[in-house]
Structure 1
Amino acid sequence: MPENPATKAAADAENSRTFQVLARLGYAVNGLLHVLIGVIALSVVVGGGGGEADQSGALSQLASNPAGVALLWLIVVGLFALGLWQIVAGFQVRRSDPKKAWGKRVSEFGKALAYLAVGVTALTFALGGSKSSSGSSQGASATALATPGGVFAVVAVGLVVFGIGVFFIVRGISRRFTKDLRMPAGTAGRIVVVLGTVGYIAKGIALAVVGALFVVAAATFDASKATGLDGALKALAALPFGAVILIVIGIGLIAYGAYLGARARWGRL
């Protein structure tokens, strides 16, 4: 049987050295964004304001200076390349069990959508525009809650995001992320494991809070509660000992960003 043209094209793309370098660039710039988000989260604790503690806030910080604008275009290229890489990886999935194969494909395509979405946001800022993640989340939730059955859609989104957060936490605790890398030997390898463990758990907690806030928004019919990562982190800051929690999460997000930098260097593609 002749090879499917789409499969052959995906295989050729996956073997492209240039494409691999650009995909690694995607991991590196995604790591940079997480470091910036972590720094913004820490600035919330010390009362420095710092803007939104999410991708939009990090991109806004970069857009505020000329050197940052040039970096924004690098982020756009890297994230679009990484998104396309995940699509190619989805087409290349091979499993003896068709259900497991499709499950893996859905996972790869979902990652692709996430990277491409942030890439589009980065492109908006690079072109001189602006975008608020929290405002977008609230607006979409308000629209959904105003439609018949919309409350179930908001709950579904919240549960999915909460589940992704739990997945990140489990992945960090179990250290399954090490399968994604060709681990360097010695001290460097141990540092990468620590960064990945702390980073995955911190990001998982933040995402779980985001998901929980969507469920609360649906339960109370209050779209203002359906915020993104920025709102989730600031909600944590409002809790008893919230400042300590936010400091830990902020440091964890910086660790996750550093881990993504390591993945750019040693990740399996």
Structure 2
Amino acid sequence: MSDSAKTAARAAKNSTAVRTLARVGFAASGIVHILIGIIAVSVATGGSGGDNADQSGALARLSEVPGGVFLLWAAAISLAALGVWHVLDAFLDRTASGRDRVSHIVKNVGKGVVYLTLAGTCTVFATGGSASSSGSTKSLTAQLLAAPGGVLAVAGIGLVMLGIAGYLVFKGATRRFERDLRMPSGAAAKGVRVLGTVGYIARGLALAAVGVLFLVGAITHDPDRSTGLDGALRSFADLPFGKIILILIGAGWMAYGVYAFVRARLARL
């Protein structure tokens, strides 16, 4: 990247408009997480059988409320801005070096891709379309399994998911998420810590289940076993005391959604 391009990219990253949209993006992500949590709890209590307990199910619900299309467009724009901000931050922030810098790049590029993908899904629903995260996951798994070395690729995805899940649980349990925030003081700080800890651990447990399903799909050579977040959350209901576990995970996702609203206000950008 040329010096002029770097300067332009740095200016874009630090612009007030992009920072504002990035903060709104955190709030939009919070709405999605809260809706996924609500669907998960509904599944555990016998409702929402037709709703996917994932991003597509949450956005489908959002599209049905009054003003939902406007909210979806606002979410798409802000999430896209948040994704771009993470990608730019990955390469323009040079406060770290060596392995720390590599880790910084990988984490922020990964986050950027996730937010940009979610922005694209919001756009699909905003324009009147529909999407199924579960169906897309099954399709991807089937294509990989049909390719040479596909079993190893699917198993690799599962292991990566488990690694990310472990990091999320670790980040919640050790409260490393506080590094992302300008922490308040007093009772407010305690509230933020509870929301962040519970939210990150719940997200980690759900993502671990997604990783396990990818591994099962690889071992059985059955793409229908890899059902993404929706199937992962529903799989908890089949475990002993699974409905209670699913309710707790759903509540944790809602807690993370509230934390995301807090992050929209307190995030270090």
TM-score category of the 2 structures, normalised to the smaller one: over 0.9
Structure 1 stretch 152-161 or stretch 96-105: which is displaced more?
96-105
CA distance in 2, matches of 1:211, 1:154: 10
CA distance in 2, matches of 1:16, 1:148: 46
Question: Does the CA contact (< 8 Å) of 1:199 and 1:254 recur in 2?
Answer: yes
Within a 5 Å distance, the mapping from 1:151-170 to structure 2 comes to: 151-170=151-170
TM score, norm. by length of structure 1: 0.96
- CA distance 1:96–1:35, change in 2 (3 Å): closer
Residue 68 of structure 1 is matched in structure 2 by 68
Identity of aligned residues (%): 50
Cα RMSD of the aligned pairs, angstroms, is 1.2
Structure 1 stretch 11-20 or stretch 123-132: which is displaced more?
11-20
Deviations 1:27-70 (A, max 9, x none): 00001100000000011011112501111000000112341111
- CA distance 1:144–1:96, change in 2 (3 Å): closer
- CA distance 1:28–1:96, change in 2 (3 Å): closer
Within a 5 Å distance, the mapping from 1:39-78 to structure 2 comes to: 39-49=38-48, 51-78=51-78
Within a 5 Å distance, the mapping from 1:14-29 to structure 2 comes to: 14-29=13-28
Residue 262 of structure 2 is matched in structure 1 by 262
Deviations 1:165-216 (A, max 9, x none): 1100000000000010001111111101100000000000000110011001
Deviation at 1:96, TM superposition (A): 5.9
CA distance in 1, matches of 2:5, 2:201: 37
Structure 1 outlier segments of 4+, above 4 Å: none
Question: Does the CA contact (< 8 Å) of 1:216 and 1:225 recur in 2?
Answer: yes
CA distance in 2, matches of 1:97, 1:263: 26
Task: Give the counterpart letter for 2:268 in structure 1.
Answer: R
Task: Give the counterpart letter for 2:163 in structure 1.
Answer: G
Unaligned ranges ≥5, structure 1: none
Within a 5 Å distance, the mapping from 1:240-255 to structure 2 comes to: 240-255=240-255
Unaligned ranges ≥5, structure 2: none
Residue 221 of structure 2 is matched in structure 1 by 221
CA distance in 2, matches of 1:225, 1:120: 25
CA distance in 2, matches of 1:93, 1:102: 11
TM score, norm. by length of structure 2: 0.96
Equivalenced residues, count: 267
